[in-house]
Amino acid sequence: MKYLFIIFIVFINSTSSQDTSYVSYSVALEVLNSGAYEKAVDYFNRYLKVSSMHDEAYFQRGNAYYELRKYDEALSDYLKAYELGFNNSRMLYRVASIYREKKFDNAAIDYLNKALNINSGFIEAYLMLGEIYTEAGDYKKADEIYSKIVKLAPLAREKVSSIAEMSMALGNYRDAVKYYTIAISFDSSDFNNIYSLGVAYYHLNDTSNALSYLRKSSLMNKTHGMPYFYLAKIYSEQGNYHRAAECLTEALSIGSLTVELADVYKTRAMCYSKIKDYLSALEDLNSAIRLNASFPDLYVLRGIVQYEKGDDTLALKDFNKAISLSPDISLAYTYRGLIYLNRTLPQLARDDFTRALELSPDDTLVLFHMGNFMLEEEKYMEAINYYNRAFSVNPKFYRIFENRGIAYYNLGYYRQASVDFDAAIKHNPSLITKLKPLFIDARRKSGM
């Protein structure tokens, strides 16, 4: 009897504990609406232990999971709610969107249609259907869907464009491409949508489509210079600096630019520098500095142009100015170090290279020049270490082969030297006169 009494007490305590953990549906819903989603999940868990057949409770817990981006759990709850008889167009739309994300487009179509059976004016459901059919190449069905949208909501195209603009602003370029494509299907003569679609493709590194839409937009609107600005960026990345400079000139002459004018001059200056038109590059950089005299990168670029042009004095002045404006620009230290090296000031050069490496430990150019510094100092193994680091960061940085080969040669590592000399000549045939004698001698000494 004593044992039965103890068991009874334990049972009573256990039951009492469960009762105190109970949460009503209204309290759980209030927590959900407050935005405390983790807490809401916990409250709905407690509630559903007691009311396991409450369809709307699964729907609301699913909403909490959805906001927490726990989409598998959300899907499970939404389907449970639907199974129990809960019908809600937004819930079915979310089920479709989760299936869409999982690439289960047939299931997505099924639930979108179910959502539309409940709410025949659900524009977002039609939009997703249109996307699915467009991506599947079923343009007839896609056109039917878009036609319905226009009939239901004449302002739908503006809504789609707004969604596309929001996607662009958030950096969701794939979504932007989808929505701008839909917007263009409504009106293929809208300049802004076609231009923006080109920009979205540019950010996705889809050069072919970016060029196509940017060129088209440049022909549609002769009073807007931005298509030419992005065309210039693409041509510059392709190494077509002449064409890039021409596009930037066109952009500047047209105007209506939504980027800083100083950036346009800076970009064109970089193109001029690549084709060794240093005077034009300096003119543009001077214009950019007049517009933004506190921008340190402009002084760095002008210093590099002066350095390439052979004017160390003006270059040094610009690098000093850049460092005074921002002491954390590694490129300014790198080039100033080169000037000090040319002026036979090895300690100053080393200090600047060291500072540049502190700021950018994986900067190929800094590593390369630090290697060159060690080579000049006849510290060959240290030079090789820097060249190896540069090459590990950028395996296409072929400039290291010549000097690393010389370091190997001076250490008596003739086999490695001959391999580097051979690679240097292959990548830059103009080095053959300089390196061929060393290459032949290294092969001879290595017994190759």
Instruction: Quote the pLDDT of residue 426.
Output: 95
> Pick from 50, 68, 86: which residue ends a domain?
86
The answer to whether residue 195 sits within a structural domain is no
How confident is the model at residue 154, as a pLDDT? 62
- Does a structural domain hold residue 441? yes
Domain range enclosing 398: 362-448
What pLDDT, on a 0 to 100 scale, did the predictor assign at position 157?
Answer: 66
CATH of the domain at 75: 1.25.40.10
- Residue 305 inside a domain? The answer is no
Q: What is the pLDDT along the chain (448 residues), one digit of tens a residue?
A: 444 444 444 444 444 444 457 889 999 999 999 999 999 999 999 999 999 999 999 999 999 999 999 999 999 999 999 999 999 999 999 999 999 999 999 999 999 999 999 998 888 898 899 889 888 888 788 878 877 776 776 666 677 787 788 888 889 898 889 888 888 877 889 999 999 999 999 999 999 999 999 999 999 988 999 999 999 999 999 999 999 999 999 999 998 888 999 999 999 999 999 999 999 999 999 999 999 999 999 999 999 999 999 999 999 999 999 999 999 999 999 999 999 989 999 999 999 999 999 999 999 999 999 999 999 999 999 999 999 999 999 999 999 999 999 999 999 999 999 999 999 999 999 999 999 999 999 999 988 7
Domain end among 17, 52, 86: 86
Residue 139 lies in a domain: no
**Would you say residue 407 lies in a domain?**
yes
Please give the pLDDT value at position 124. 85
Tell me, rounded to whole angstroms, the distance of Cα 127 from its chain centroid.
26
In this structure, is residue 100 part of a structural domain? no
In what helix (H) or strand (E) does residue 359 lie, and over which residues does it extend? helix 346-359
How many domains in the chain? Answer: 2
Q: At what angle do helices 123-135 and 139-152 cross, to 10 degrees?
A: 160
Question: Position 342: which residue type?
Answer: N
Residue 240 falls inside a structural domain: no
Residue 89 and residue 125: Cα distance in Å, rounded? 9
- Domain end among 50, 66, 86: 86
Residue 53 lies in a domain: yes
Give the helix ranges, DSSP H, for 36-155.
37-50, 55-67, 71-83, 89-101, 105-118, 123-135, 139-152
**CB-hemisphere CA count at 13 Å for 64?**
24
